[in-house]
Amino acid sequence: MNRYPLWKYLIVLVSVLLGLLYTLPNFYGESPAIQISPMRTTDKADTSLLARVEGILKKNNIPVNGMLFELNSVKVRFSDTDIQLKAKDILQAGLGNGYVVALNLLSESPQWLTDISALPMYLGLDLRGGVHFLLQVDMKGALSKSLDRFSADIRSSLREEKIRYKRVSREGLQIIVKFRDLESRDKATDEIKNNYEDLSLREHDLEDEFHLAVSLKETALKRMQDSAVQQNITTLRNRVNELGVAEPIIQQAGADRVVVQLPGVQDTAKAKDILGRTATLELRMVDEEHDVSLALSGQNPSDSELYTERGGGPVLVKKQVMLTGDRINDAQPGFDNNNRPAVHLNLDSNGARTFKQLTRENVGKRMAILLIEKNQKEVITAPVIQEEIPSGRVQITGNMSISEARDISLLLRAGALAAPMDIIEERTVGPSLGAENISRGFNSTLFGFAAIAIFMTVYYLIFGFISVTALGVNLLLLIALLSILQATLTLPGMAAIALTIGMAIDANVLINERIRDELRNGISPQAAISAGYERAFGTILDANITTLIAGIALFAFGSGPIKGFAVVLCLGILTSMFSAIMVSRSLVNLLYGKRRKLETVPIGQVWKPTNNKR
Amino acid sequence: MEFFRFRRDIPFMSWGKYTTTISLLTFIIAVFFLATKGLNLGVDFTGGTVMEVGYSQAADLNKARNTLAGIGMPDASIQHFGNSSDVLIRLPTKPEISSAQLSEVVMKALRQEDNTVEMRRVEFVGPQVGEELVENGALALLIVSLGIIAYLAMRFEWKFGVAAIIANLHDVIIILGFFAFFQWEFSLTVLAAVLAILGYSVNESVVVFDRIRENFRKMRKASVEQVIDNAITRTMSRTIITHGCTQMAVCSMLFFGGEALHYFALALTIGICFGIYSAVLVASPIVMLLGVTREDLVKIEKKETKEEAVP
């Protein structure tokens, strides 16, 4: 009765072997490395890059431990971090701006393991050090920005069609267009309806004015939000590339949030600065029809705003935005003809066309270039347009230093954010604490396991030892599973491993106690083993399912560290069911199943009450 | 070796009056401290900034305090963390400084005074995120409770589900009571521990309930009280050994897990200790109180065996 068919033994054997195989990469440790990838995702790294990197390193006599080419990047291993840091500077200088040169750690596990995608566990930021940000996209900001763009478009449409209107203004989350007569409004309604399918219109009259309230349709709103988040993610990715991070994670979390994880980043101040900044440019015309001094005294014209030019006096700027920063292809710091620091912009074809038209139509007038950072607008410069600029190449000079020019161009190059973002959560862990956390988690598991192993073996003898073996297999399978799934292992996750060890033994205790119980009732050893396993099964299942319910709920509602805990807890329950029931049973069957005459079960002392009532 | 040698069933149910009183008392005390002192919620829930910095030698807290007061943060709480060279700084949310920059400002000030200081950890949680975490935590607690009741009601009978969840919520409240009384920091990880305990100590009740069901079948002539007493007595050994083993793992965490896992392990310890007590002396009396009968389970059992018989 205590025999397993061959296939069951095979299942156990195969899973243990697979467990060993996939746990293996975790034992090799890591070596410092540098990862080089092209700055733009459209560019491909190829073998010529490999050759270039090799050449640069050889020229500078940097010893290399190995180079490989994978996933659109070149990775170079070094023997220690000093060489790694030296190599980074040299490579950065040698390769120039087009490449991300980032520090990284590479697993030292042999290639054949990597080939069967046996990778070490993916460590969370609290274990390897780094920064985690949760950014909230300011949807209201995105919305008002896009409404501003729409009102500019509506204005020019109406002008083109020669429809007379009094005013176009954004009020809250809608645009109000005011007309003097009904006829113009009807015309305008048709015009807008035909040309802008994303807008919904509502007419209402106010005394002698005819209003048209324009707002975004629900579907368009949704689409706009999605694209705002997507664009922000793209922008963030570009910015992170500028920072040089080896394996950044940038992904959407919920409708309007973005998670950014930068493993191994030390200079958090710079990271935050670059990520958090929402610099973009706006090109507007200077309002020259109204008097600045009048505006200074509080009488602002309705379609203009008052700003101060950097290093200059106040300037009145029209509200209508002619061109925004998302039309910028490239931005580089440099100098103008008079050797003043400047930012050289390169506009995309659309932007170049708009700019050409703008400059052609406004020769002799002043144009204002506004830098918008963290919702603060500043006029960098307000030059007079000398001539039509057809090429899309724009040079901004203003009152700025060289480093300011560099900063502005970095931010502009990395792209504009579609909507402003705020950091609403930050978790930074220094590398020393990360390493400490690993050893803490490891020790907790190790000593917990050792204590349980000793106790079980002493208390249940051979059956205890079998239980401990099953527990070991459980640990092995759990780590293998975590490695295969590449689930993020966090410190709470390591705590869950330790806790799982403590909880998984429950199944074996249940079984062993059951067997003792059956023996106490005077059943033969073989029957007792069989009955013990069978009777305990239902209880083990019930008990584990309730814990699983808790684990799943934790996973569903938990964030960050809790999720890591929940994943390990759930996986641990699954592996423990398998190992406690199947693995231990197969060991028992293998050892005792074939013995016809099993006199005693080596499960420790079974005490029988002398005056058993039943 | 055999630790537990019960000659006859221990009359747990006859102690029902006392144990229920004790449970009720501890419960009320826990609720009292929760109400009066409240939980010392960590930054995860309240929002704000926590920084852990490490010095090369023992840190001078007063100096650090003065430094922070100097940059306009007299309300920062500063204390040693784990050992004398590590310092934990708590900063409330400041509307005037961008929260993301707050830690940088503090770090700069501290570095000016002592350049050996090293940033070990920064956690900033916006107030809005904190609120959500509280909400999600409460929701998780609710879902876990309902899930467990539903599962036990399906597997046994609703009375068992209700009894188990009351027993375990009683554990949860007591854990929270401890955290309120000692004003230990209640963080996300502690919440995880509490929820894990909720799932884990239900095991305990399940094991006892399983035995009760089995006994109802086997001990045809025994009264409900005898059945339950026997079930508890016979699972006692397993209960203590299992919990002992889990506690060994938790103790290992308590000793080797450092500050980060300290309260997590502490919450588990309390949960495990009260878990034993409540499974034996709270859940079962409640099942009795709810008036469980043999028919409740034996009927279900029959159905089940029928289902099992069909391949």
How far apart CA A255 and CA B62 sit, in angstroms, is 45
Interval A572-580 mean pLDDT: 92
Q: How confident is the model over B108-167, as pLDDT tens digits?
A: 888 888 888 888 888 888 888 888 888 888 888 888 888 888 888 888 888 888 888 888
Co-location of A438 and A309 in the same domain: no
pLDDT of residue A474: 95
Q: How confident is the model over A516-529, as pLDDT tens digits?
A: 888 888 888 888 99
How far apart CA A398 and CA A383 sit, in angstroms, is 9
Please give the structure tokens belonging to residue B297. 């389970």
Co-location of A447 and A586 in the same domain: yes
Give the rounded percent of residues in chain B with a pLDDT score beyond 70: 92
Q: How confident is the model at residue B49 (pLDDT cuts 50, 70, 90)?
A: confident
Q: How confident is the model over A391-409, as pLDDT tens digits?
A: 878 887 777 777 777 767 7
pLDDT at B175 exceeding the cut of 90:
yes
What are the start-end ranges of the H helices in A255-401? 268-276, 292-296, 349-361
Quickly name the fold that domain B48-125 has.
Answer: Alpha-Beta Plaits (3.30.70)
Co-location of A384 and A434 in the same domain: no
Co-location of A311 and A211 in the same domain: no
Averaged pLDDT score across all residues of chain B: 83
CB–CB of A233/A137 below 8 Å? no
**Best residue in A262, A421, A446, A542 for a mutation probing chain B (most B CBs within 10 Å):** A542
Record: contact A451-B258, CB cut-off 8 A: no
Q: How confident is the model at residue B311 (pLDDT cuts 50, 70, 90)?
A: very low
Q: How confident is the model at residue A417 (pLDDT cuts 50, 70, 90)?
A: low
Give the domain-ending residue among A424, A440, A466: A424
The number of folded domains in chain A is 4
In degrees, rounded to 5, the angle at the alpha carbon of residue A597 between the alpha carbons of residues A594 and A599 is 120
Give the rounded percent of residues in chain A with a pLDDT score beyond 70: 94
C-alpha count within 13 angstroms, C-beta hemisphere, residue B193: 29
Interval A199-204 mean pLDDT: 84
* Residues of chain B positioned with their CB less than 8 A from the CB of A422: 126
Q: How confident is the model at residue A614 (pLDDT cuts 50, 70, 90)?
A: very low
Co-location of A350 and A451 in the same domain: no
Q: How confident is the model over B266-283, as pLDDT tens digits?
A: 999 999 988 888 877 888
Q: How confident is the model over A166-195, as pLDDT tens digits?
A: 888 888 788 888 888 888 888 888 888 888
pLDDT at B310 exceeding the cut of 50:
no
In degrees, rounded to 5, the angle at the alpha carbon of residue A468 between the alpha carbons of residues A462 and A474 is 145
Q: Which of A423, A436, A444 sits opposite B253 (nearest CB)?
A: A444
In degrees, rounded to 5, the angle at the alpha carbon of residue A611 between the alpha carbons of residues A608 and B2 is 25
Interface residue A135 vs chain B (CB under 8 A): no
**Best residue in A436, A499, A514 for a mutation probing chain B (most B CBs within 10 Å):** A499
Question: Is A237 part of a structural domain of the chain?
Answer: no
* Residues of chain B positioned with their CB less than 8 A from the CB of A445: 252
pLDDT of residue B309: 40
* Residues of chain A positioned with their CB less than 8 A from the CB of B101: 272
Other residues' Cβ atoms within 10 Å of the Cβ of residue A12? 22
Interval B247-263 mean pLDDT: 90
Record: contact A565-B189, CB cut-off 8 A: yes
Q: How confident is the model over A350-382, as pLDDT tens digits?
A: 778 888 888 888 888 888 888 776 567 788 778
Give chain A's end-to-end CA distance (angstroms, integer).
27
Please give the structure tokens belonging to residue B84. 């004398």
**Residue labelled with tokens 């990047």:** A73
Residue B190 CA: distances (Å) to CA of A9, A77, A388, A491, B250: 41, 40, 66, 13, 13
B236: exposed, middle or buried (Cβ count in 10 Å: 0-12, 13-18, 19+): buried
Q: Which of A433, A447, A604 sits opposite B252 (nearest CB)?
A: A447
Q: How confident is the model at residue A610 (pLDDT cuts 50, 70, 90)?
A: low
Record: contact B238-A445, CB cut-off 8 A: no
Q: Is the confidence metric ipTM above 0.90 for this complex?
A: no
Taking the complete model, does pTM exceed 0.80, yes or no? no
pLDDT of residue A380: 78
Q: How confident is the model over A284-320, as pLDDT tens digits?
A: 888 888 877 777 777 777 778 888 887 778 888 888 8
Record: contact B143-A557, CB cut-off 8 A: yes
Co-location of A545 and A439 in the same domain: yes
Q: How confident is the model at residue A416 (pLDDT cuts 50, 70, 90)?
A: low
**Best residue in B238, B240, B269 for a mutation probing chain A (most A CBs within 10 Å):** B238
pLDDT of residue B210: 85
Co-location of A467 and A345 in the same domain: no
At A401, which CATH number? 3.30.1360.200
Co-location of A195 and A315 in the same domain: no
Co-location of A212 and A190 in the same domain: yes
Co-location of A530 and A478 in the same domain: yes
Interface residue A376 vs chain B (CB under 8 A): no
Record: contact B241-A426, CB cut-off 8 A: no
Q: CB-based contacts of A82: which residues, under 8 Å, 6+ apart?
A: none
pLDDT of residue B174: 92
How far apart CA A505 and CA A450 sit, in angstroms, is 12
pLDDT at A19 exceeding the cut of 80:
yes
In degrees, rounded to 5, the angle at the alpha carbon of residue B225 between the alpha carbons of residues B223 and B228 is 110
| Residue A336 belongs to domain spanning | 277-424
Record: contact B245-A506, CB cut-off 8 A: yes
Most confident of A140-154, A424-438, A462-476, B236-250: A462-476
Q: How confident is the model over B3-31, as pLDDT tens digits?
A: 777 767 778 878 877 888 888 899 999 99
Backbone angles phi, psi at A318, to 5 degrees: -65, 150
In CATH, the architecture of B12-41+129-302 is Up-down Bundle (1.20)
Shortest Cα distance from B244 to chain A (angstroms)?
A: 9
Give the rounded percent of residues in chain A with a pLDDT score beyond 90: 14
How far apart CA A77 and CA A28 sit, in angstroms, is 14
Question: Is A189 part of a structural domain of the chain?
Answer: yes
What are the start-end ranges of the H helices in chain B? 16-36, 43-46, 61-70, 99-113, 127-155, 158-182, 188-218, 224-256, 258-278, 284-289, 294-309
Interval A152-170 mean pLDDT: 82
Interval B56-73 mean pLDDT: 84
Interval A29-55 mean pLDDT: 79
Co-location of A213 and A85 in the same domain: no
How far apart CA B171 and CA B165 sit, in angstroms, is 10
Pairing status of strand A488-489 against strand A122-123: parallel
At A46, which CATH number? 3.30.70.260
CB–CB of A107/A120 below 8 Å? yes
B18: exposed, middle or buried (Cβ count in 10 Å: 0-12, 13-18, 19+): exposed
pLDDT of residue B304: 47
pLDDT of residue A374: 58
In degrees, rounded to 5, the angle at the alpha carbon of residue A67 between the alpha carbons of residues A64 and A71 is 150
Q: Which amino acid is at A474?
A: N
Averaged pLDDT score across all residues of chain A: 83
Q: What is the DSSP secondary-structure string of A300-341?
A: --TTEEEEEBTTS-EEEEEEEEEEEGGGEEEEEEEE-TTS-E
At A181, which CATH number? 3.30.1360
Co-location of A40 and A18 in the same domain: no
pLDDT at B98 exceeding the cut of 70:
no
The greatest distance separating any two alpha carbons of chain A, rounded to the nearest whole angstrom, comes to 113
Record: contact A558-B136, CB cut-off 8 A: yes
Domain spans, chain B: 12-41+129-302, 48-125
pLDDT at B99 exceeding the cut of 70:
no
